[in-house]
Chains A and B, each alone.
Chain A
């Protein structure tokens, strides 16, 4: 892989506590093959850089409209409006906004640049933390991500990867030696259900789970639970079965649905998702925990 090859990253978050052991730095790679209805990082779906408009910060000064080459940004009667369908993500409006209302998500990094961005957290890596590859789906930029993980391992850094499992099995095989821990999503049971909720069948995903299990890679199964959508008894049963039948699965994490991603959808010019779903109550969360414990698991809420 050449030094100039780049990956698109939409965020680097430091001091993460729920993405693997120790205090971690999470790198969010842009692009995802799934379209989960509950996704809380809607800015991750497209691999291309895209504009986000934080309207609550806008003071309607019109500076963005002055420089927009396509007319996506408009300023009329003292009000700013944005037609996202016309936006080409050139970034000119971002440069002139003084109020932090506009940002281009998705920055290109070369491998040396991304490795340099990890340097500030070196002391955390040495104290039991590490880097977590996240996103989006990191395997959509598999060649770069593999080289990145390899370079981190060469420095003795612990590498975890969050993945939905929807990627080329060969590429999982290639990256596996450089990943210490997989945070593997398990989102729905049953092919049709899975397609309905995520946009893809679960066949490849399950195949890759088998593959990683067979390689003996440490896996934590991560299950987003959305009340009334995928938290049926059947799904909980299958989660338990999956955990118990795969020796490589060393942990089970439940991710209760939250709606904080909805704000971002609006800011990205996307439509609302799952409007009728409420965030899980304490008793709902307890029910999941109790059910899974009764099935012999040790789930953790994240």
Chain B
């Protein structure tokens, strides 16, 4: 859960009590969800807003409550949400009047059944519920879970910054008139105007605060900054942004209360204002940099762990020259603001100017991990093909969250589920029995022991996978419909293509394109496990299925020899065809099944995503020992990478394996490359050559982590997890893991000379 970085967090739950009261009154009074939403937004803002801090060049900080209105987990929660644990804690530990405590108790009991997540789970179609009984993936051994959210809100910031608040008012008024004429949903548009009024109120609230703070500013410089904030906020309510400062202020504040945690293509919506301001001498490059740094720190204050995408570069930017100029400023901000967020992302292609690429490499070399690199020249054609869209649309792709694709302010592809490939394999091996919860799960089929050959077992595994994949696609469609029924999300609807034109809110039929995505975890471990099953059980017949299952159930204890046999089976990541073919085929089969669901359930598309976040650890916790030699509960391989320690043949072999995986049957895959800083410093050209070569050969994406000595010191406790990093000593032959600990330490120490 994110911990918003604000000073002086609110104490007590007065806000939550007030919000609940406002919600109840609105439900009583209003029939239309937009009216309820507006009333709740008015109860939420400015109540949860936080003051401008010393270091801020823009207004806008907040701290979601234990109850409120959000859009996804990291914005408080999905829809109307309650953080029950937090409220319970308050009940048990906080002191307060009897009335206050009654209020808390009321919150708990009221919201338990009234929160959006509960409604979604409650009203789920019965056949889906059987496959997806709970969304508590961290508490139960589940093969698949739904995720309750609408994620990936990519607002049309370019439009917002171009026309400003007055422009948006004019547009909405125009839509309202049309709806009045046609007898359409006038209430929706009236409430949208109400939302804009609320936004203006928020601007005024901050403007007054800035003017107050200016009076007690510690330095003249700070006073000037606060005056700047006040002035910008004043202008924004009457005119479109006319300066970089106003542009950033508007985008940030509007985005913050939407709420969204994606920041779009910065260079497009800020490039012109930046170029104008610098060219006319209004600001210097250094001042522009200071602004972007402040913007990034504000994004980071939301502490949302994932998401927070700030994208630069790529095809179909309407203002390439100004955008490329802005890129360099943004890149420098990335290099100097050393925080987890934003997830600064570079879309690059043949036309990317060398200075931009060099700046990106410099960030990476310094250990930033950003920018995340996306290869337009591979991804745009792949996206055209798999989504069936034209080049222009494909060029507007934006990665959200951990890497799922959407089309900028056009489509939603909220990933609404996670699939645990190893857990499902475990269930399939047991013929439909889940061994940790000790209960039947999914289709009841033959188990491994009843299969005459490997292909028969593989088919059974596919059957089990299909069961969850089908349920998850149905759930995705249903979740869109439920969200549409309950939540107009007006701030979103006003800045997504087509909603207002169609007279409908974003999830109520207004969005131009509803897409599904499904997060896969453990695919590589499952593939390596299948390779081991094929070799040991069916080809060499060294283990019977019963023996294998028995050994796994004991987590290999007493069976080290057999575990070694499993570990010695070929693994993906070594450029070994047997293992890599299995991984590629499994990925293709799963992706194909997911794609096939789209027309069945009525989504515009449905794709897998294989991404990099902590789920490879949390979901693995509930899976027992697997036939690839992995011990029970230990983490899966990350995204498309080999499982830890599996790549024995070096980086070039691993890259060869990575390049075998398809890029055109999924909505986003992450490849992680980890190198030492020493490597960059001693062999910079060689590393660049490696990265270039990967992209030239069809690599779609890279997330490059550069590790320095401090990180390596941690690695001494876990050298197995770091052996891919070790720089060779010229002419010295040794495998890192074969060396005793003190020698390993010595090698680490050599890394900095």
- Taking the complex as formed, is B560 at the interface, i.e. its CB lies under 8 A from any CB of chain A? yes
A23 CA to B686 CA, complexed, in Å: 6
- Taking the complex as formed, is A250 at the interface, i.e. its CB lies under 8 A from any CB of chain B? no
A51 to chain B, nearest CB (A): 14
- Taking the complex as formed, is B715 at the interface, i.e. its CB lies under 8 A from any CB of chain A? no
A120, B653: Cβ atoms closer than 8 Å: yes
Give the size range of B's interface with the partner. 35 or more
- B496-517 interface (Cβ within 8 A of A): none
Chain A minimum-CB-distance residue to B692: A127
B541-571 contact mask (Cβ, 8 Å, vs A): 1 or 0 = 0000000000000000000110110000000
Chain A minimum-CB-distance residue to B657: A120
A25 CA to B693 CA, complexed, in Å: 16
A120 CA to B697 CA, complexed, in Å: 14
Interface-forming stretch among B190-198, B294-302, B529-537, B723-731? B723-731
A178 CA to B733 CA, complexed, in Å: 24
- Taking the complex as formed, is A33 at the interface, i.e. its CB lies under 8 A from any CB of chain B? no
- Taking the complex as formed, is B679 at the interface, i.e. its CB lies under 8 A from any CB of chain A? yes
A15 CA to B726 CA, complexed, in Å: 10
Question: Chain A contacts of B753 at CB under 8 A?
Answer: 282, 301
- Taking the complex as formed, is A261 at the interface, i.e. its CB lies under 8 A from any CB of chain B? yes
**Given A18-B729, A43-B733, A123-B693, A54 and B738 touching (CB < 8 A)?**
yes
Chain A minimum-CB-distance residue to B659: A123
B650, A127: Cβ atoms closer than 8 Å: no
B contacts with A: majority SS: helix
B234-252 contact mask (Cβ, 8 Å, vs A): 1 or 0 = 0000000000000000000
B452-475 contact mask (Cβ, 8 Å, vs A): 1 or 0 = 000000000000000000000000
Chain B minimum-CB-distance residue to A57: B738
B632-668 contact mask (Cβ, 8 Å, vs A): 1 or 0 = 0000000000000000011111011000000000000
Question: Chain B contacts of A99 at CB under 8 A?
Answer: 560, 564
B732, A302: Cβ atoms closer than 8 Å: no
- Taking the complex as formed, is A148 at the interface, i.e. its CB lies under 8 A from any CB of chain B? no
- Taking the complex as formed, is B575 at the interface, i.e. its CB lies under 8 A from any CB of chain A? yes
B686, A17: Cβ atoms closer than 8 Å: yes
A16 CA to B730 CA, complexed, in Å: 8
- Taking the complex as formed, is B743 at the interface, i.e. its CB lies under 8 A from any CB of chain A? yes
A19, B733: Cβ atoms closer than 8 Å: no
- Taking the complex as formed, is A76 at the interface, i.e. its CB lies under 8 A from any CB of chain B? no
- A12-62 interface (Cβ within 8 A of B): 13-19, 22-23, 25-26, 28, 40-41, 43-44, 54, 56-57
- Taking the complex as formed, is B740 at the interface, i.e. its CB lies under 8 A from any CB of chain A? yes
A13 to chain B, nearest CB (A): 6
A121, B731: Cβ atoms closer than 8 Å: no
A260, B746: Cβ atoms closer than 8 Å: yes
A23, B738: Cβ atoms closer than 8 Å: no
A132 to chain B, nearest CB (A): 9
- Taking the complex as formed, is A69 at the interface, i.e. its CB lies under 8 A from any CB of chain B? no
A51 CA to B656 CA, complexed, in Å: 32
- Taking the complex as formed, is A199 at the interface, i.e. its CB lies under 8 A from any CB of chain B? no
Question: Chain B contacts of A63 at CB under 8 A?
Answer: 561
B651, A15: Cβ atoms closer than 8 Å: yes
A260, B729: Cβ atoms closer than 8 Å: yes
Q: Pick the residue among B652, B733, B746, B750 that contacts A44 (CB under 8 A).
A: B733
Chain A minimum-CB-distance residue to B690: A23
A24 to chain B, nearest CB (A): 9
A261 CA to B734 CA, complexed, in Å: 9
A127 CA to B729 CA, complexed, in Å: 22
A260 CA to B747 CA, complexed, in Å: 8
**Given A98-B564, A124-B690, A261 and B732 touching (CB < 8 A)?**
yes
A264, B734: Cβ atoms closer than 8 Å: yes
A271-286 contact mask (Cβ, 8 Å, vs B): 1 or 0 = 0000000000010000
Question: Chain A contacts of B563 at CB under 8 A?
Answer: 98
A183 to chain B, nearest CB (A): 8
**Given A15-B651, A99-B560, A120-B649, A260 and B734 touching (CB < 8 A)?**
yes
**Given A15-B652, A17-B679, A124-B652, A41 and B692 touching (CB < 8 A)?**
no
**Given A98-B560, A123-B655, A26 and B738 touching (CB < 8 A)?**
no
Q: Pick the residue among B651, B728, B731, B737 that contacts A255 (CB under 8 A).
A: B731
- Taking the complex as formed, is B682 at the interface, i.e. its CB lies under 8 A from any CB of chain A? yes
B686, A41: Cβ atoms closer than 8 Å: no
A11 CA to B649 CA, complexed, in Å: 11
Chain B minimum-CB-distance residue to A132: B731
Question: Chain B contacts of A43 at CB under 8 A?
Answer: 733
**Given A22-B689, A260-B743, A263-B740, A14 and B653 touching (CB < 8 A)?**
yes
Most buried by A among B651, B693, B731, B743: B731
A143 to chain B, nearest CB (A): 23
Question: Chain A contacts of B728 at CB under 8 A?
Answer: 13, 15-19
- A99-138 interface (Cβ within 8 A of B): 99-100, 103, 120-121, 123-124, 126-129, 134
Could you list 30 examples of A-B contacts with CB < 8 Å?
A11-B733, A14-B652, A17-B727, A18-B730, A19-B731, A23-B683, A23-B686, A23-B690, A28-B733, A41-B733, A56-B741, A98-B560, A99-B560, A99-B564, A120-B649, A120-B652, A121-B650, A123-B693, A123-B697, A124-B652, A127-B689, A127-B690, A127-B692, A128-B689, A134-B731, A162-B731, A258-B750, A260-B747, A263-B740, A263-B743
Add 20 more A-B contacts to A17-B728, A43-B733 (CB < 8 A): A11-B733, A13-B650, A17-B686, A17-B727, A18-B729, A23-B683, A23-B690, A26-B733, A54-B738, A98-B563, A120-B653, A121-B650, A123-B652, A123-B697, A124-B689, A124-B693, A134-B731, A162-B731, A258-B750, A260-B732
- B residues in contact (CB < 8 Å) with A: 560-561, 563-564, 575, 649-653, 655-656, 679, 682-683, 686, 689-690, 692-693, 697, 727-734, 737-741, 743, 746-747, 750, 753
Q: 4 closest pairs, A vs B, by CB? A: A14-B650, A18-B730, A98-B564, A120-B575
